[in-house]
Structure 1
Amino acid sequence: MLTNWAGNVIFGAREFHQPSTVDEVRALVARSERIKAVGSGHSFSLIADTQGDLVSLRQLPPLMEIDSAAMTVKVAAGVRYGELAPFLHSHGYALANLGSLPHLSVAGATATATHGSGDRNGNLATSVASLDLVTAQGDTVTLDRASGAVVNLGALGIAVAVTLDIEPAFQISQRVYRNLPELDLDIFASAYSVSMFTQWRGESLDQVWVKERVGAQTQAWQGKQPAMAPMHPIAGMPADSCTPQLGEPGPWYERLPHFRLEHTPSAGDELQSEFFVPRSQAVQAFQAINGIRERVAAVLQISEIRTIAADELWMSPCYQRESVAFHFTWIKDPAAVLPVVQALEEELAPFEPRPHWGKVFTMRPAVHPGFAGLIELYDPAGKFRNPFLDRALS
């Protein structure tokens, strides 16, 4: 039985494939009637499920090829950020941002617009310069960031390589502060990356994780007392799975994620949902969620609030609007969690929420009209479709 990381998705594939070359991927796609690619398995939705062929790209050669003139790196689709980042750093380069988990595959995270935090940081897909995609006939095409195909949900083909923008390596320091009395949007602008955590048991925020680029620190946190020992976002969980927090500068890839690659944060004992609203309406959205906080808290492990810059990626939840994302790590009980997710969607409806494609949601997402044209061009027979995409894209 093949499942995702959390075990809430049991894949219905008739056969599981792990090709070791791009030519094998092309041949597999050409002969398959229905096929989907699975990344690192960290999606909680049915986005990668299929009744046909399921393919993992982890056995492809781990290509990581730097072009210093173009300031890009070409990466095999199955490479994880936790593998790419130290390679880049060893050559003096960095990515602009990382998600909270380094365990994610590059192709899977960018296809679903997974993100980190920072007022001026886009989601991980905004670093994609181009991607190499195997389309329905087994052909390989290279599509650039202007094509509308970067956040592709696996609906256009199977990405076998992704080319990312890079920049010079930098240092980050990280501190955790406790008990912020209320949501303050100015705090998000106070550092390179800021994450707020709450259990929705009151107006205050339990923790604020502040990640500052060394040499670009602000004055906002001077005089405020940080936590004196490392902390985990979830009370009672060991902090040794988290990245260093006590203000000691370190490489970007050892501070921007919340968790270390060598640790599994929660062993998959959770479900997750996330909803993006306009940054300008973040306080009102916070108050709307706070209105049902008892229901939320009853099935919650922890909630994280982050900001993400606007982008021009058609299927991104941050398409053309600066956003605040409300993330919920739930207990692993779908029957108890789904009614609360629906209640959240209703409360957030006035703010036109957009869900994270890889998380648990029930609402109908917004779909850019141009994306249907891409599907018709690259997958007219629906080889890469599944019930999840049929509902989401209809």
Structure 2
Amino acid sequence: MIQDFFILCSGADAELLKTCSKGEQNKYAGIGATVFFTAVMAFIASSYALFTVFDNVYTAILFGLIWGLLIFNLDRFIVSTIKKRNSFSQEFFQATPRILLAIIIAIVISKPLEMKIFEKEINQVLLEQKNELTLANKDQLALQYTPKVEQLNQEITALKTEIATKEIETNALYDVYINEAEGTAGTKLLGKGPVYAEKREKHDAALNELNALKTTNAERITGLETQIADLNTEYAEVVKNSQPIIDSFDGLMARITALDELPWLPSFFIFLLFLAIETSPIIAKLLAQKGEYDIKSEEEESILSSWVTQKVAQRKLIVSTDGDINQKIYEDLKGESELYGYKKKKAEELLRLQADSFHDIQIKGLK
């Protein structure tokens, strides 16, 4: 039963193969088993690849099954259409398009399994890429907020500088009136005279301006700091909202790209393995000697070809003979006087009817 199933997978004529030896049946059962297990590997590989795309087990299995059946049908068609000939070069030329197709199928099958085999290494590469993307994303978003924050900080610095400058001026006036009172500067008269009072008034006025300036600038600085805090909060929120996009950067294309960054030699050998599996039925048919099944299959094709050629020749002969017979019949009819007289009579009747009809039409036209 299993052998019959694998023979079915090989695309061979089961009825014709039953008339062959056991060895010939085992050969085609082996070819069919290769076709079957290649389709199984295609199903597994495509299911995993589609799972990374849809992130749903049932969807991945459904489309993976469809892909596996497609690969099975292609492989079965490839193997069944290669016919053994007496010339290897002719056989190889016949198999060349199928070998190219097998290479494409091997690439498609091997790539998802490579991603599964090197999953840990790929995850490490993806983690590094995500970290780089996170840093780049923060820097890029910061370009939208940093100029505004720097401008606000400059305004705060300017306000603080204004207060500091006013404090220096006020302190200088304080030193002036104190020195005047001590007699170490100005009039150099000890005591609090009119000049002292004047200088004290200047200092007190500057001190009041300083206090008012501190109050006003403090309110402005508080408002600017609030704006900076709001911008920092908004920046953090934008970074937080964009992070899930970076965290989900692990789709099929991202994993293929990450796989390409790994050393190529292991992936290349895995590809060679699947290429050997995919092309093994074709190579086996090319290298195998012409067997009993091939001889009988060629004989049946020859019988069918001869039968078709014979039928075509018979139809051509029938058409030719029928034409010759019809020609001879009409040649013989030329000499029949009775047929001549009958056709002459009918022609005369037709001419009379035409003349009468023409006469009636002319009379109607004259009335």
For Structure 1 versus Structure 2, the TM-score category normalised by the shorter chain is under 0.3
Greater RCO (CA < 8 Å, at least 6 residues apart): 2
More helix, by proportion: 2
Q: TM-score, normalised by structure 1?
A: 0.18
